[in-house]
Structure 1
Amino acid sequence: MSVHHIRVIALRFILPYALNYFNEAISGTLIHDWTMENTNEQLYIDRQLFCDDPCSYAVDLVHRVAYSTSTLGYSLLCPKWSVSKHSSVQITSFMADHLTCDGTVLVGVGTDANLLDEFSNEKLKLSNNKQSQLPVAVYIGGVLVELSPGRSACVAVAGEGTK
């Protein structure tokens, strides 16, 4: 299964309300088999939108370079052959194992930092389960260049984290 990301896009003045819906979507979500058909259809759409978005593509390239020596080096996007192969039980298990307090990053662009801080500390309800030890990104240097269609450009930079 690929690395999972969830995002919300909203107008700034609506963001506090959108975050409440976002929280409901990721906290204690029940996934049923009958919802998987719609999920798979959305995944096909998301795959196409991902390929058309240079910023998402740039972040994916950074991830692939950072984890080039492990299985995490695969694309962040679910491979086309894998769409519709996951059951509701697998997705629920994946979310319980990986959508945890110590394994999740909350990022906002164009948002009020205080709003995100309040949301993460007071409203966001994630599991306190400990994640299994994940591979450390090993990147010493190099370049990964891929041509992308369109006229837009986007750059993603990653730096080494500290403990």
Structure 2
Amino acid sequence: MSLVLLAGCATTSTVDAPTALNGRELDTALNLYGRWDERIVLAGQPHYVWRRAVVLNGKTYYCELRSQLGYRNTISSVVVEGYPAACSLFEVQYTTAQDLRTAPEPPRTEIVASRNFRPVGAQAASVSQSAEDAATRRPESAADRGGS
């Protein structure tokens, strides 16, 4: 008996379209499924229709979601009919921020470097060494610099 009660408490991250839309505003359906494919007025009540299709073995199978609007643009009823694989495209999947984390965050480390940082093994340049290098260079003539 307790096992049945525990199974009833389990939550799912995937919800079918009627469960996700009943009692919600039309904007909810528009945000989930985009612009409707067809708008029909039956008995003075607007109905919106969305269609999805899948191709299996070269053949196209369709599913249709029909919603009826009630008071103040709230969805009063939703019907989903068609091929099950195509109808699964209307399912709503809820995720949490915890679900979006695929890998744990790396530990935050502080990198400390001094302003005079140089790679290990690099030669240290000093003022006296720069002066010696300049003294050994051959002076350029005006012709070498592109002058006349």
Scaled by the length of structure 2, the TM-score of the pair is: 0.22
Which structure has greater strand proportion?
A: 2
Scaled by the length of structure 1, the TM-score of the pair is: 0.20
Q: Which has the higher contact order (CA 8 A, sep 6+)?
A: 1
Bigger CA radius of gyration: 2
Which structure has greater helix proportion?
A: 1
